Chains A and B, each alone.
Chain A
Amino acid sequence: MALLVIEDLYVNYGHIAALKGINLQVAEGEIVTLLGANGAGKSTTLRAISSLIKPKQGRIIFRGQDLQRVPAHDIVRIGIAHAPEGRRVFATLSVAENLLLGGYWRRRDRRGIQETLSKVYEFFPRLAERRHQLAGTLSGGEQQMLAIGRALMADPKLLMLDEPSLGLAPLLVQNIFRVIREINQLGVTVLLVEQNVRAALRLADRGSVLETGRVVLSGTAKELAQDERVRKSYLGEQ
């Protein structure tokens, strides 16, 4: 059974329709990527799943539970962690403090938090080296690692990453995508929003292409990579 099901989802910002009937399924253990240009509705989809915005219509079902009445701060408790666009790490807090925030809701589970923390430091040795440094002093790539690490601290079933490659050097993108794969191999399902289509399709099992609030194409990563429209519009091939 699918871990996450989105049925006919409509979201408006004021009078402007951002999503016009999205359908999407994510099975347990998969890496699914949402592709598309700016303003296609990728981030909006993630924000709707996180309950940060209320859908106008449609359903989001996670592990059989309708998320409509779940407030944003409870989303992380049922197993969805969101690493938002632009990282949004707390510049005034140290790396370790930022990570502990990720485990905020697991307050009674100190051992579990410590275990996850050492796991995060294993994924990102750079964060371990800089654990006492202020997050605001990290480089862009390190901040992205921190944003992913913070989301992992919530011990999620589903990890949602919003443009983790944004503004990073190609080598760092490779590094981060390798870690995303490792995280996935430990059993965390990943929903990845990307504009870096080439890298995303190498990593993902399946993908959907969004255009102005609609899913225009869905398939396995291989199918998408060979699709003519994808190759022309997103991979820049002739």
Chain B
Amino acid sequence: MNGSFSTRMLRTIAAWVVVAIFFFPIYYWTSVAFKHGNDIFNRPPKLFAFTPTFDNFQKVFGISLGSGGITVTPGGGNFYMAPRVWDSIVIATLSTVLAVVIATLAAYALSRMNFRGRHSFVGWVLSTRMMPPVAVAVPMFFIYKNFGLIDTYTGMVLIHALMNLPLAVLLMKSFFDDIPSEIDESAIVDGASRFMIFRRIVLPMAKGGIAATAVLCFIFSWTEFLFALTLTTTSLKTVPVVSSTFVTSIGTAWGNMAALGAASIIPAFIFILLVQKHLVRGLTMGSLKQ
């Protein structure tokens, strides 16, 4: 909507202010990652005036800033977290792919095919998200133990995909609903099979919706805590789980935790940026139906 120049100006200023307020904690947290303990705990809190240090990143990622520029030395030890970021990326990516594939297939059927109990079926799918995670984690632990899935990518990918399926099915269905079914019908008249229509016609049209679903699945997997804590032991860990490692018996290593937190924004954020164009368009389509 348009308005006078001053209204537009006012709106722009308001938008920047609001986003700045939301961004402030991220700035502050990132600044903690570059502080020594003494600067993190200072009265009054230091916002800008502190001597930046790379110590935290060195401990957590083996990145050091010397005279010859940035050097990376893979380190060892409890506070070396680079492999954990990689674990998180693998799990989030694969579980997103799995969830989106399964959800897309199911959502297409739910959108296009009429069968008895369809409405309650969708309700049932949604209800699987209502169980408190604690209640799922315990039985899953026993199943995983029996099938050797503890500490494996397979196990984590499965549980995260499961966790995201209800949301993914719901979203994908609404995107498919927005694509007029006349297209399908005319293709059927032309002798195309269901699967062909799905592959060649509907799927390309729903690209944006898939992107949107993928982003949300990725975010939820990237940030999930309780399953990752319960179903892994030593060889595999995700970022949310290891972030609690910094809470030690001799105090919390705030700087290190902030370094991990700040760095962990980057991969997920890149993923969002990559699909952002599709995202807005995708969510757009999903909401069209009235």
Do A and B originate from a single complex? Answer: no
Name A's B-contacting residues (CB within 8 A): none
Name B's A-contacting residues (CB within 8 A): none
